[in-house]
Amino acid sequence: MSTGTAILAEGLRKRYATHTALHGIDLEVPTGTVLGVLGPNGAGKTTTVRILATLLAPDGGRAVVAGHDVAREPREVRRRIGLSGQYAAVDQMLTGRENLVLLGRLLRLGRRGAEARAQELLDRFGLLDAADRPAGTYSGGMRRRLDLAACVVGDPEVLFLDEPTTGLDPTSRNVLWNVVRELVGGGVTVLLTTQYLEEADELADRVAVVDAGRVVAEGSPDELKRKVGTDRLEVTVARPDQLAQAAAALAVLGGRVPTVDEDAVRVTVPLEHGLDDVALAASELRRRGVTAADFQVRRPSLDDVFFALTGTAAKADSPTQEGADER
Amino acid sequence: MTVTLAYLADIGALAGRHLRHLRRSPGRLFLVTMTPAVMLIAVGYLFRDSITVPGSSSYEDYIMAGIAAQVALAGVGPTALGVAVDLRDGLVDRYRSLPISASSVLVGRALSDMVTAAVALAAVCGLGLLLGWRPHGGPLRIGAGFAVLLAFAFVMLWVGILLGTTMRNVEAIDGTGALILVVLSFLSNAYVAVSGLPNWLRPAADWNPVSSVISVCRTLWGNQPPQAAHGGFPATHPGVVAACALGVVLVTVVPAALRGFRRAVER
Ligand SMILES: Nc1ncnc2c1ncn2[C@@H]1O[C@H](COP(=O)(O)OP(=O)(O)O)[C@@H](O)[C@H]1O
Ligand SMILES: [Mg+2]
């Protein structure tokens, strides 16, 4: 493997008793970058992370993390990684400080070293005020921050964050995003899984979209958006009875047929000729006397990417579909 | 730091975590102490005049070893619960992602739960002294009785760890723990001599290793009524039966618990 690769997964397969969770996952994360693994519930995100973090042995394929094979040298891998699981794994009965000191001692920082490291991280993650309260009294956001602090006690080269902001309020989410950005700024390689397209867009250099145990698309957020198609014009009309007029106006663009959303009183059309189309649409709407309540150009979001790639039925995980996949 | 020293330091740090829990929420200690203490008061004190054990002059003396053995049985549920909750809350995942040995997580718990058992044992025996129990014999024999009980507690603790790693459901663990406590202690010579039990139950109570452990302890404490040696092989050789049973359980349960733990992490 090249020296510039922090995480490499090749053909990872995993079968549970009744169900194949991974059908051959390939990932490559260059050192110092963030890979967002995006997928619905049950896609295999957690399974992938647990294999890469040496907690789970794959049934096939191999993985190299921070220069060491996860199957052959798990301890070497563990020296270099931090794992934040899907649910914040902090000891609720211990204080924030005690949680961090315990990990520091297990990471052989010594008692003094562990205490100093705990103090430093509590400060950095904004937990000094709550440092000596049991973690069970923390809010969800604080607990997540403590969890994140816990996984960087050993100064890891590679961080695995499994749905780090699921269940957090927007403020806590923003705080957490900043913490992650700071860590990345310090040179850490991050693999984070998420169900939020916005999160992948915000944090990730590259995104791997997974569905039903396979990587169905991979690229930078922009590349993925481009894959899904062009920008669109969305016109929301002021009066429902003008919807047909608006649709007729946008049909003049000569491209694809506009789609009409009656509930949202909105007409949407792909923009195949950029600004020319926008200008034409505007004058055509005016000529027909349609009053637009909202008129905007929308770039495809990762949401669109996601649904285009996996379909709305992505979450279905039917046994028949599974059976067909077995070889 | 050598490898062994590092291993011991890890165990110490992890045991320290559990002992902190114990100090912060003494409920667990209470749980382990309460049942034996209540039985000691209810049966040993309130019913002492209505229960007669052949050959025994003092019921408090007779019942104490049985009550003390219950401390070990009462610990099974809480130990299993602790293991299951750590697995559920992802703490085990966190420890397993560190460059430490997997067994240190369980050994750390075993160590701290032994401390719990020792404290509970001391509390229950202290209560026994207040209520009239008296050990007879030299301090060496009395100490040996406690050593036997601690060995028993150690074995049962691993049963609890095995239970926790295989049964992840908290309610199911609670029920199983209570069942183990009730069945193993009532189907033994803890409260009455085996001869006082219904005929068909006697072989089970005779061969119940808990009876053997209690007999050994009772003898070491000088609380064994002279007639107790009537009965089959287990009654005449309680030491052999107790040692074999504990040994067999230990060599089967510890590896199974470690395997179960490794497998539990994979779930
Ligand atoms: N221990 C397990 N036993 C059986 N099936 C499992 C187990 N863990 C996960 N699965 C199944 O494997 C698939 C992938 O799960 P997971 O990796 O947790 O997905 P995600 O994290 O993307 O939600 C799901 O269909 C899930 O039901
Ligand atoms: Mg998951």
**Rg value, chain A, Cα:** 24
pLDDT greater than 90 at residue A275:
no
Q: Would an 8 Å CB–CB cutoff place B263 in contact with chain A?
A: no
Mean pLDDT value across residues A72-89: 92
Looking at domain A230-299, which CATH architecture does it have?
2-Layer Sandwich (3.30)
pLDDT digits (tens, 9 = 90+) for B235-267: 888 888 889 999 999 999 999 999 988 888 776
pLDDT digits (tens, 9 = 90+) for B151-166: 999 999 999 999 999 9
User: What's the pTM value of the predicted model, to 2 decimals?
Assistant: 0.82
* pLDDT given for residue A325 in this prediction: 35
Q: With bands split at pLDDT 50, 70 and 90, how would you rate the model's confidence at A327?
A: very low
* pLDDT given for residue A184 in this prediction: 92
Q: Which residue has the tokens 């102490």?
A: B33
pLDDT digits (tens, 9 = 90+) for A185-214: 999 999 999 988 888 888 999 999 999 999
Other residues' Cβ atoms within 10 Å of the Cβ of residue B81: 19
pLDDT greater than 90 at residue A170:
no
pLDDT greater than 60 at residue A2:
no
Q: Find the ligand nearest to A166 CA.
A: 2
Instruction: Strand A232-237: give its sheet, edge to edge.
Output: A259-261, A266-270, A232-237, A292-298
Interface of A with B in 47-76 (CB under 8 A): 50, 53-57, 75
* pLDDT given for residue A311 in this prediction: 65
* pLDDT given for residue B9 in this prediction: 93
Q: With bands split at pLDDT 50, 70 and 90, how would you rate the model's confidence at B124?
A: very high
Question: Which amino acid would we find at residue A81?
Answer: I
Question: B96 contacts in A (CB within 8 Å)?
Answer: 54-55
Distance from CA of A14 to the nearest CA of B (A): 11
Looking at domain A5-80+156-226+312-326, which CATH architecture does it have?
3-Layer(aba) Sandwich (3.40)
Structure tokens at B162: 């095995």
Rounded Cα distance between B244 and A99, Å, is 41
Question: What CA–CA distances, in Å, run from A297 to A224, B22, B60, B213?
Answer: 18, 61, 88, 81
As a whole number, the mean pLDDT across chain A is: 86
pLDDT digits (tens, 9 = 90+) for B167-211: 888 889 989 998 999 899 888 888 888 888 888 888 888 899 999
Instruction: Strand A19-30: give its sheet, edge to edge.
Output: A19-30, A5-16, A60-65, A68-69
Name the residue ranges covered by the structural domains of chain B. 2-266
* pLDDT given for residue A316 in this prediction: 31
pLDDT digits (tens, 9 = 90+) for B30-73: 878 888 999 888 888 788 777 878 777 788 888 999 999 999 99
Name the residue ranges covered by the structural domains of chain A. 5-80+156-226+312-326, 230-299
Q: With bands split at pLDDT 50, 70 and 90, how would you rate the model's confidence at A163?
A: very high
Cα A147 to averaged position of ligand 2 atoms, centre (Å): 16
Contact indicator for A29, A160 with CB cutoff of 8 Å: no
Three-state SS at A311: coil
Report how many Cβ contacts below 8 Å link chain A to chain B. 71
Rounded Cα distance between B113 and B122, Å, is 14
Rounded Cα distance between B154 and A13, Å, is 40
Q: Which residue has the tokens 């382990």?
A: B32
pLDDT greater than 60 at residue A322:
no
Question: A103 contacts in B (CB within 8 Å)?
Answer: 94, 98
Q: Angle B65-B36-B29 (CA atoms, 0-180°, nearest 5)?
A: 120
* pLDDT given for residue B99 in this prediction: 92
Structure tokens at A121: 């991280």
Q: Would an 8 Å CB–CB cutoff place A134 in contact with chain B?
A: yes
Three-state SS at A36: strand
pLDDT digits (tens, 9 = 90+) for B89-120: 899 999 999 999 888 999 999 999 999 999 99
Structure tokens at A35: 């890979």
Q: Which residue has the tokens 């934040």?
A: A84
Residue identifier of the C-alpha nearest atom 16 of ligand 1: A44
pLDDT digits (tens, 9 = 90+) for A233-257: 888 888 888 888 888 887 877 777 8
The answer for residues whose C-beta is within 8 angstroms of residue B228's C-beta and 6 or more apart is B55, B189, B193, B215, B218, B235
Rounded Cα distance between B154 and B72, Å, is 8
Interface test with chain A among B19, B87, B97, by most A beta carbons within 10 Å: B97
ipTM above 0.90, yes or no: no
Contact indicator for A219, A206 with CB cutoff of 8 Å: yes
Contact indicator for A8, A31 with CB cutoff of 8 Å: no
The closest alpha carbon to B75, from B40, B121, B131, B44, belongs to B121
Q: Which residue has the tokens 């991280």?
A: A121
Three-state SS at A64: strand
The closest alpha carbon to B108, from B79, B72, B76, belongs to B79
Q: List, in sequence order, the alpha helices (H) in A131-257.
A: 140-151, 170-185, 197-203, 221-228, 243-251
CB contact under 8 A, B93 and A57: no
Rounded Cα distance between A170 and A149, Å, is 20
* pLDDT given for residue A36 in this prediction: 96
* pLDDT given for residue A222 in this prediction: 82
pLDDT digits (tens, 9 = 90+) for A41-79: 899 999 999 999 999 999 999 999 999 999 999 999 999
CB contact under 8 A, A81 and B97: yes
Among candidates B9, B20, B94 on the partner chain, residue whose Cβ is nearest the Cβ of A83: B94
Interface test with chain A among B2, B3, B4, B93, by most A beta carbons within 10 Å: B93
* pLDDT given for residue A21 in this prediction: 94
pLDDT greater than 90 at residue A135:
yes
